[in-house]
Structure 1
Amino acid sequence: MVYNNFRINFIVRTLLLAGSIFAFFYLFFNTELTMTLVLVGLLIAFQIFAMIHYVDRTNRVLNNFLESIRYSDFTRTFQVESLDSSFDKLKKSFNEVIKDFQEVRAEKEENYYYLQTVIQHIGISLIAYSKDGKVELINNATKKLFQVRSLNNIQALNDFSPELVTKLLSIRHGENTLIRVQEKDELLQLAIYATEFKIHNRTILLTSIKNIQDELEEKEMESWQKLIRVLTHEIMNSITPISSLSSTITMILKDLSDSLKEKNIASEDIETIEEVEGALQTIHKRTDGLLHFVNTYRDLTKIPTPTFSIFPISKLFLNIKGLLSEEMKAKGINCKINIEPNSLELSADEKLIEQVIINLVKNAMQALETKPEPEIQLNAFLNKRGRITIQVIDNGQGILPNVLDKIFIPFFTTKPQGSGIGLSLSKQILRLHGGNISAYSEPDTMTKFTLTF
């Protein structure tokens, strides 16, 4: 219909209103038809109201469209009755604009969820927070590192490490730093890097945190192995000729001494030769000792590649307890085994891990020699990060704090007859298993060695 056209409709309504107004004034000045005049007046009022309502319909549609944009409500649509109407064409245009907004929003939401998935999948801990410590975003790696389900403010990490909280609140854009956190069961070396940016006039710090303890220990062990290889090579090259020559000269002097005795040569000469022979034997004995020393330290660079198998930890503990039970009984040591759950299994080289634990238990037995109620505990469980953990705990004399950081260094020992490779060897074996060994001690109370796989 023609009247569906907004412009024609508006013109016709305007002409009808103008005609009604003209008729009203004509009747008013030229006739005395009061009732007709009243009816015409009511008709004019109705026409004015109808026109305002008709025009306001456009305003209402426009207002609804603008509100949709303002409040990002793009679920609203405008019903189109006929494409011949300019008013319905306006509705159609509004619907197309809303559809475009919907596509843009859908694309942004896809990008947002994609970014969220990437952030949550990253193995490095990420925290976005404001200067006052209010946390805007954390990923799963952060929750796993700090063992939290949620984090609203950086201050909540005070129980984990006050030093870490202080550094996170004071770190600057582009700054790299390293924080050492000592937990009872594990040592963490946290590498921190911060980037600063602004969103809606708010300054946000995006901080990445990574535990690089494993990498540091790996590099440290590689450095020690290179040093040991160089030292043993040089020492062997120097000592082997000395040992060989001293042995040869000793044999020559012995033959010479025997010859002089047969010829009844003066005893002073024989005594002098015997003294030289004794000195050479001392040199030979000492060089043999040094060769044995070097060969012992070569063990650090000749650990066999682990042969992995799956075995119950209960079997491992019972084997070790059986091997050392007589010695423990003689020293009055009580050995306790705790495994949670009892069916816990480990994928490792059983012989190498058994060697490590036996070494730790023997160290504990030596530390318990002066204790009135000596006790050793062998514990196995899943730690709070879901990793299999074995602990050897004793209530012996403990390890002093200034010594604790050095006990895994090759050549370092506090024992008069110690070689200084036992714990170093244990650490290397754990590294080959992708694990770690750490120590915690309270002097005169307890010492705990933790093997984490």
Structure 2
Amino acid sequence: MAFNSFRTNYIIRSLLLTASIFGLSYLWYNTELTMTLILAGLLVLFQIIAMIFYVDRTNRVLNNFLESIRYSDFTRTFQVESTDSSFDKLKKSFNEVIEDFQSVRAEKEENFFYLQTVIQHIGIALIAFQRDGTVELINNATKKLFQVRTLHNIQGLKEFSPEIVQKLLTIKHGENDLIRVREKDDLLQLAIYATEFRIHNRTILLVSIKNIQQELDEKEMESWQKLIRVLTHEIMNSITPISSLSSTVKLLIRDIATSLENQQVDPEDTESLKEVEQALQTIHKRTDGLLHFVNTYRNLTKIPTPSFSIFKVKDLLDNIRDLHENEIHNKGITCNIIVEPESLELSADQHLIEQVLINLVTNAVHALEETSNPQLEIKAFLNRRGRITIQVTDNGKGILPDVLDKIFIPFFTTKPQGSGIGLSLSRQIMRLHGGGINAYSEPGKETKFSLTF
């Protein structure tokens, strides 16, 4: 209808302009009235200008509308003065189209912000980047994991771990991988999974990264506990009757030997009885030793449930130093206690954590026996990820790299008189607290055990 009104208006204007031009031509040849000719000419000029403006006004409105769509500028509106005008009806139609675009755009923005909120609240690290390493999206979990505020390119993670950068730049669609990153304060086992897709002719990789160190520790400890339960059960069932029978037979042999002392018997028989008694005594002694050995390792499966309470970490560390004060003083060890901040508090089972620290400090003191200028440091602080950490550091002989990965395995020990359960027990206690324990060592320079809660 607007088009029909525009056409009618245009035809009427064209006819009037044509009539005016003919009138001006007639006057030009048939009259000498100068003022009349001037007025007629001005009338024709006015109609031409009005025609151009009338047509151009429609073009300007249409051009503005198309530019709004082209540049996604949906804030522009077209003023409607009268609903009867064909131009105003056209403007009204343009306004309605723009309102529809605004509605669609607002819905898309709401969905985008909703998706962004969901991504930022996910506890798993997510990174979306192009094949050249240009990062398009990261969430808060990624920033926390890699300790970065912003990340523009994957190469920015080189300081954290060159292996991570290499893996992210070469990972394929649907690939799963596990990367181990050792830090001085922590040990990370990162599970990586990648999905590839295309957006506007760009290839995007969406990679999820999760630290599964705690889950691996729990599974490993559960496996060791099951193995220990089976072994101790079978060993106890086999050794207990042997120990009992050896003790009984030894007493019978002793009674027989006593009764034969007053009788005339072959000296060789008496000597044989004594050898049998000594053999039985050896068997009994070894079975008792094995029983004690088995009972010791049962401790790994009988740790009491932690009784949590809130206490000051400084008081805990001072107690540990007091317990070892004489030994530290006698061996000339310099011991420093550092708590940052001093008001730092911990929610844990104080007695169990004391047991862990006693074990670590005892090991550190033994490691410092052949060290000149021995130094021991016990430090508590909040690590880069905001978790309470207690570190026991010494400058002793250290732990060799091929041994470092085995020290938490039950039964493994490098000490001649060691039982191999101290660090395993400590790891189990930390697991029950929802934390972890790891070790870092540079032989001859520094050895550091970190408890992370």
TM-score (ref. length: structure 2): 0.96
Stretches of structure 2 lacking an aligned partner (at least 5 in a row)? none
Q: Matched residue of 2:386: which SS?
A: coil
AA paired with 1:396? G
Q: Confirm or deny: 8 A CA contact 1:232 1:294 kept in the other structure.
A: yes
**Equivalent pair of 1:438/1:451 in contact (CA under 8 Å):** yes
Q: How does 1:13-52 map to 2 (within 5 A)?
A: 13-52=13-52
Q: Which residue of 2 aligns with 1:417?
A: 417
> What are the Cα deviations for residues 69-104 of structure 1, in whole angstroms up to 9, with x where unaligned?
111111111111111222211111111111111110
Aligned to 2:433: 433
Identity of aligned residues (%): 75
Instruction: Give distance in 2, aligned partners of 1:116 and 1:281.
Output: 75
Q: Is the 8 A contact 1:6 1:85 kept in 2?
A: no
**CA-based RMSD:** 1.3
Partner of 1:84: 84
Q: Which amino acid aligns with 2:130?
A: S
- Distance in 2 (CA, whole Å) between partners of 1:294 and 1:276 is 27
1:252 Cα offset (Å): 1.4
- 2:172 corresponding residue in structure 1: 172
Are 1:68 and 1:76, in contact at CA under 8 Å, matched by a contact in 2? yes
Partner of 1:262, secondary structure, is coil
Aligned counterpart, 1:66: 66
Q: What is the 5 A alignment of 1:52-451?
A: 52-451=52-451
Q: Is the 8 A contact 1:17 1:48 kept in 2?
A: yes
* Cα offset, 1:125, TM superposition: 0.8
SS at match of 2:275: helix
Cα shift at 1:267: 2.7
1:15 deviation in Å?
A: 2.9
Displacement, 1:7?
Answer: 5.1
User: Which digits, 9 at most, give the CA deviation of each residue in 1:37-58, with x for residues without a partner?
Assistant: 3432221121011011012111
Q: How many angstroms apart in 1 are the aligned matches of 2:180 and 2:341?
A: 31
Aligned partner of 2:201: which letter?
N
> Shift of residue 321 of structure 1?
1.1
Partner Cα distance (1:127, 1:69) in 2: 33
Q: TM-score, normalised by structure 1?
A: 0.96
- Where does the alignment leave 5 or more consecutive residues of structure 1 unmatched? none
The CA distance in 1 between the partners of 2:103 and 2:35, in whole Å, is 61
Q: Separation in 2 of the partners of 1:7 and 1:200?
A: 43
Output the CA distance in 2 between the equivalents of 1:275 and 1:96.
112
| TM-fit CA distance, 1:34 | 4.6
- Cα separation, 2, equivalents of 1:451 and 1:205: 36
Give secondary structure in 1 for the equivalent of 2:22: helix
Q: Deviations over 1:10-60 (max 9, x none)?
A: 343233212212212332344444542343222112101101101211111
Read off the aligned partner of 2:218 and give its amino acid letter. Answer: E
User: CA–CA distance in 1 between the matches of 2:84 and 2:36?
Assistant: 38
Deviates further, 430-439 or 31-40? 31-40
Q: Distance in 2 between matches of 1:24 and 1:372?
A: 120
Whole-Å separation in 1 of the counterparts to 2:40 and 2:447 = 108
Larger displacement relative to structure 2 (427-436 or 260-269):
260-269
| Alignment coverage as a number of residue pairs | 449
Matched to 2:229, the amino acid is: R
Q: What CA distance in whole angstroms lies between the structure 1 residues aligned with 2:127 and 2:207?
A: 5
The alpha-carbon deviation at position 6 of structure 1 amounts to: 4.5
Is the partner of 1:98 in helix, strand or coil? helix
